[in-house]
Amino acid sequence: MATGETGFDDVTYDLVSVQYHALKAGHDYGQYVRDARNAGRDDIADFFEKVMSEDSARAKQCHEFIKELSKSSESGPAVTS
């Protein structure tokens, strides 16, 4: 795997990016759930909770992959140091 200017290989960078966006979106979805509940739309609130749960699982899977890559020299010095 090529290591870019950041010191991270492309795959690790991509995983970190997906993890960040999943976690950030999960934070935002909490407000969406409240908005839907306040509007009396429990069906939409339930949908947002499902999406939030999926993003949480996505972030966790990224974390597991990053841990796995950190045990390998393929990920670059920013992860394996």
- CB-CB contact of 53 with 33 (8 Å): no
CA 71 to chain centre: 20
Residues ≥6 apart with Cβ < 8 Å to 10? 1, 2, 4
pLDDT at residue 42, as a whole number: 98
pLDDT tens-digit profile, the chain (81 residues): 455 565 667 898 899 999 999 999 988 999 999 999 999 999 999 999 999 999 999 999 999 999 999 887 654 554 555
